[in-house]
């Protein structure tokens, strides 16, 4: 690992009150050192013998400081946590037994990662309101491998069904918003049963507070405030091609929404706020051209990032698929804090070392071990080699989080995850 790319001004956290004994928390000392370093573009170093918590490590990197070692946050947002419960996946996704975000936190603790919960908790913003109509969720199909649900309501004595269904699998994540005909079901079910036995899960302010408490010092909790995708499928492409006049209204609605939601955020007690804000979306440049993205999705993102930066709140973009141009836009035109997963070809187009050279002093890069060739099918030795290569490419000077190039598959071997984490803790030491 190249450790020479540091600034001239170095601030040791011991000089700001760190005990450096590996036991006493150093959060206050780290923050004071970061504030001092920020004033002169200096570097923060952890005192010898000290050990950061995962939360301290991540916050240090996001503020441009140098942590004790490279943070490591493999993306296993749902498949691996669900698998580790030993339950049918629909227990977590449909019945909240337990909610998938609770399973993620348990998984993060099991592996000892620096958890970055980028939108895994589906926070409900206070000003968003709820649909007052009495929708009822019904099971319209089930067999040994899947449960299909569809929502309906009764209007004027007639049952009206939504035109999409959700499919919950026994051992895979759900498919939300499927067209019934595409999975062999009628648009209006001939047989159905009420969905029963769903455990309550608070996704409001009290729920966010509980999730933050449960995660504790294991990492950071982020929630979505806007998205980088207006178009996310072929139907969206055709729709806006036929109705381009709607885009101005969409842009205005998105800007109004982020202003309203940010007001919600600032009204919360500081200790209850999310640790960072999510503004990304899967496959931003898959169904959207850079020009379409820049004109229609970027304005709301830029406004959130502007507000969050002024308030000292980090921002995060996840966007799988081709991302090189998105990194350039976000690094050059915004003050975005973190971007991931920086997928390599053929699914993506990112070269980690190239991105580090171009933008590593402006934005935190988070990535990018191949989830199939390395994490799923590779050996622990392969994972160690790939982790070292990523650390060599992007760790110098900080602003790097070792992660995977998108979500790890359900059957990723545990020993590969442990190999990745151990490499960050040892080879990745600053």
pLDDT digits (tens, 9 = 90+) for 158-173: 999 999 999 999 999 9
pLDDT at 130: 85
Of 40 and 85, the one with more pLDDT: 85
Model pTM above 0.85: yes
* Range 79-124+203-426 classified under CATH 3.40.50.2300: no
Residue 36 clears pLDDT 90, i.e. is over it? no
- 45-54, 140-149, 194-203 — which is least confidently predicted? 45-54
Are the beta carbons of 211 and 105 closer than 8 angstroms? yes
pLDDT at 129: 87
- What does the pLDDT look like over 22-31, one tens digit per residue? 445 555 666 6
pLDDT at 30: 62
Question: Which residues are CB-contacts of 341 (< 8 A; sequence separation ≥ 6)?
Answer: 75, 318, 320, 323, 348, 366, 367, 368, 403, 404, 405, 406
Question: Coil, helix or strand for 290?
Answer: helix
pLDDT at 12: 54
**Structure confidence at residue 276 as a pLDDT band (50, 70, 90):** very high
Residue 46 clears pLDDT 80, i.e. is over it? no
Q: In the predicted model, what is the mean pLDDT of residues 248-262?
A: 98
Q: Which of 69, 50, 301 shows the shortest CA–CA distance to 61?
A: 69
Residue 224 clears pLDDT 50, i.e. is over it? yes
* % residues pLDDT > 90 (the chain): 86
Q: In the predicted model, what is the mean pLDDT of residues 297-310?
A: 98
Walk across the sheet containing 115-118 and list its strands. 115-118, 219-224, 276-278, 315-318, 338-340, 364-369, 400-404
Q: Which of 396, 323, 320 shows the shortest CA–CA distance to 357?
A: 396
Are the beta carbons of 151 and 131 closer than 8 angstroms? no
Mean of the per-residue pLDDT values for the chain? Answer: 91
**Structure confidence at residue 131 as a pLDDT band (50, 70, 90):** confident
- What does the pLDDT look like over 375-403, one tens digit per residue? 999 999 999 999 999 999 999 999 999 99
Q: In the predicted model, what is the mean pLDDT of residues 173-202?
A: 96
Question: Coil, helix or strand for 342?
Answer: coil
pLDDT at 84: 97
Residue 319 clears pLDDT 90, i.e. is over it? yes
Neighbours of 240 (CB within 10 A): 18
* % residues pLDDT > 70 (the chain): 88
Residue 7 clears pLDDT 90, i.e. is over it? no
Residue 233 clears pLDDT 60, i.e. is over it? yes
Q: In the predicted model, what is the mean pLDDT of residues 191-205?
A: 97
Are the beta carbons of 84 and 110 closer than 8 angstroms? yes
State the burial class of residue 372 (Cβ atoms within 10 Å of its Cβ: 0-12, 13-18, 19+).
Answer: middle
Domain boundaries, the chain: 10-50, 79-124+203-426, 136-194
């Amino acid at each position: 690992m190249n450790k020479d790319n540091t600034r001239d001004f170095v601030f040791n956290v011991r000089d700001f009150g760190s005990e450096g004994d590996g036991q006493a928390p150093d959060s206050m000392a780290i923050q004071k050192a970061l504030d001092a370093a920020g004033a002169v573009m200096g570097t923060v170093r952890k005192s010898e013998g000290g050990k950061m918590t995962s939360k301290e490590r991540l916050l240090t990197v996001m503020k441009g400081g140098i942590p004790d070692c490279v943070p490591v946050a493999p993306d296993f947002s749902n498949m691996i946590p669900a698998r580790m419960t030993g339950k049918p996946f629909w227990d977590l996704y449909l019945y909240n037994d337990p909610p998938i975000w609770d399973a993620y936190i348990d998984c993060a603790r099991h592996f000892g990662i620096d958890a970055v919960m980028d939108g895994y908790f589906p926070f409900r913003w206070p000003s968003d309101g709820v649909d007052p109509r009495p929708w009822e969720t019904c099971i319209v199909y089930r067999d040994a491998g899947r449960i299909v649900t569809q929502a309906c309501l009764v209007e004027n004595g007639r049952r009206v069904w939504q035109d999409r269904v959700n499919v919950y699998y026994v051992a895979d994540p759900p498919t939300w918003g499927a067209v019934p005909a595409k999975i062999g079901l009628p648009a209006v079910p001939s047989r159905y049963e009420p969905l029963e036995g769903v455990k309550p899960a608070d996704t409001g302010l009290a729920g966010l507070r509980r999730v933050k408490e449960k995660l504790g010092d294991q990492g950071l909790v982020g929630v979505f405030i806007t998205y980088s995708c207006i178009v996310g499928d072929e139907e969206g492409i055709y729709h806006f091609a036929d109705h381009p006049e709607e885009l101005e209204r969409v842009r205005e609605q998105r800007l109004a929404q982020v202003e309203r939601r940010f007001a919600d955020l600032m009204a919360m007690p500081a200790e209850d706020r999310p640790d960072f804000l999510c503004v990304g979306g899967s496959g931003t440049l898959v169904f959207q051209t850079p020009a379409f993205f820049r004109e229609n999705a970027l304005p709301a993102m830029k406004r959130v990032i502007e507000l969050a930066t002024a308030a000292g709140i980090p921002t995060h973009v996840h966007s799988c698929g081709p991302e090189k141009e998105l990194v350039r836009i976000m690094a050059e035109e915004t003050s975005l804090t973190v971007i991931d997963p920086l997928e390599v070809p053929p699914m993506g187009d990112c070269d980690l070392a190239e991105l580090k050279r171009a933008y590593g002093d402006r934005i935190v890069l988070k990535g990018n071990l191949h989830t199939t060739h390395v994490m799923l099918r590779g050996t622990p030795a392969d994972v160690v080699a790939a982790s070292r290569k990523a650390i060599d490419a992007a760790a110098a000077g900080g602003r790097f989080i070792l992660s995977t190039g998108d979500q790890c598959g359900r059957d990723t071997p545990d020993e590969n995850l442990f190999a990745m984490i151990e490499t960050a803790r040892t080879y990745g030491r600053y």
